[in-house]
Chains A and B, each alone.
Chain A
Amino acid sequence: MKKNLNHLKDWEMLEKKWQERLNAHEEELPEGLWGKIEGRSNKEEGRRNKEEGIRKKGEGKSIVLIRWSAAAAVLLFMFFWIGFQREEEIEWKVESGKSKVAKTVPEYVEGREVKVESGELKVESGEVKVTKKAPERVEGGNLKHEKAIELLAQAPVKTEEPLENIKSEIVAETGKPLESVKSDVQAEVDEMVVVVDIEPIKKEKAINKIIGFIKKVKSGRLLDLTTKNREGKLNDGIHRVMYQYEEKEEKLKNSLSL
């Protein structure tokens, strides 16, 4: 057994010598072998470049996709944010059946319904009829409205007595003749905004708007929205964001094509 182990050592020593000799051994390279390698190498390089191009194109597509997803996320966030902001705002409905009605944005009223009853003020054929004394101040009314009401309040009018029947010549509070006060009131009422009803936007309404917008995005009518007056301001913002993304996408495409 010991003898056999010694033989193994002898073999290992022999193999070490063989290893040194064989490591230095060279074969003659056949003619044209480098040409073949070069040809294959060029072919492989062309194929790799092509694959790289396809991969980059794919990457470009996914970059665009990511950017669009980011844009959509930003838009969604904007809509939710605006939706919840608007939830606390008041939409003012103006009764359009009457003459001289225009819409102005009144002062903010804390989400409660404010009504100016139609019985208090009426605009009919350019004439002002006061059937009872107007309230001193109507919350949520605009300045013109308030002024008109103040003027009316100063008129020496008792309840349910038409303005034309009032005989007093001077209105005590103003020191002006009644006719003058009447014409002032008339002038004010001509420009006046009659706010009939105030109704807060319900939460569902805002959510419905968001869902509607998403549907519009899906159907590709997103840019059409920018032309709509109702959502103009908001969609200007959207349009700007979209434009920036389109511009960046274009730049990216150009740089990739280079």
Chain B
Amino acid sequence: MKTSPPTYLHEESLILACREGDRGAQNSLFKKFGGKMLAICKRYLKDQMEAEDVLMEGFLKVFLKIREFKNEGSLEGWIRRIMVNECLMSLRKRKITYPMEEEALLVPEPAAVLEQMTSLEIQEHILRLPDGLRTVFNLYAIEGYSHAEIAEQLGISEGTSKSQLSRARVLLQQKIKVQ
């Protein structure tokens, strides 16, 4: 017989129970944010199995480090950051190259159809991008990282980050036209 995890009315009490190492509370936390975090992992890694593995590692880290969470920002934002870092660590193993464009790219106006896309369509659209471009696009456009932060995280220059973003935008536009 399956037992459903306990429900917590307030996020504070859930955090407190997780800090105590309460497995029920941890399960509740996983159920609450797991779906969203899996979507993030998939958006970065593309591969379902790898995304699940990274999600697992990420939650283990969340449970381990939840004592360090200071209630300053949102819990979801904090967990999301841990997941993104885990994804980047996994991507580093792929030894992705981030080439700098020799000439400045002319980014076309975004097609109107891009604005009408559903979240699933956007996700599929992003997943078609190559690893490097997808990573920079995800970090800048979806997570809201600055080029300086991306450069630091990926060990590239800010110029390369900007160049990769432009390239990603151009490719997204081109793929819509092909469809």
Q: Interface extent on B, as a size class?
A: 35 or more
Task: Identify the closest chain A residue to B173 (Cβ).
Answer: A11
B34 touching A33, Cβ below 8 Å: yes
Q: Is A25 an interface residue (CB 8 A)?
A: yes
A258 at the interface (CB under 8 A from B): no
What DSSP secondary structure best describes chain A's contact surface? helix
Residues B142 and A7 in contact, CB atoms below 8 Å apart: no
List of A residues within 8 angstroms of B60 by Cβ: 37, 40-41, 44
Is B147 an interface residue when CB atoms closer than 8 A count as contact? no
Known: A10-B109, A11-B107, A33-B56. Contact between A25 and B34, CB under 8 A? no
Which residue of chain A has the shortest Cβ distance to B165 in the bound complex? A11
Q: Which of A29, A36, A41, A44 contacts B26 (CB 8 A)?
A: A41
Q: What 1/0 flags go to A6-32 for Cβ under 8 Å of B?
A: 111011001101110111111111100
B96 CB to closest chain A CB, in angstroms? Answer: 21
Q: How far is the CA of A34 from the CA of B117 in the complex (A)?
A: 32
Asked whether any CB of chain B lies closer than 8 Å to the CB of A85, the reply is no
B167 at the interface (CB under 8 A from A): no
The answer to whether B155 has its CB under 8 Å from any CB of chain A is: no
A22 close to B43 (CB less than 8 A):
yes
A-B CB contact pairs (8 Å), 18 listed: A4-B106, A7-B108, A11-B110, A14-B110, A15-B140, A15-B142, A19-B142, A22-B119, A24-B119, A25-B36, A25-B120, A26-B38, A30-B52, A33-B52, A37-B26, A40-B60, A41-B60, A41-B63
B-contacting residues of A (Cβ < 8 Å)?
A: 4, 6-8, 10-11, 14-15, 17-19, 21-30, 33-34, 36-38, 40-41, 44-45
Given A8-B107, A33-B34, A37-B60, output 18 extra A-B contacts at Cβ < 8 Å.
Answer: A4-B107, A6-B109, A10-B109, A14-B114, A19-B142, A19-B144, A22-B142, A24-B36, A24-B119, A26-B38, A26-B39, A27-B36, A27-B38, A29-B31, A29-B34, A37-B59, A40-B60, A44-B60
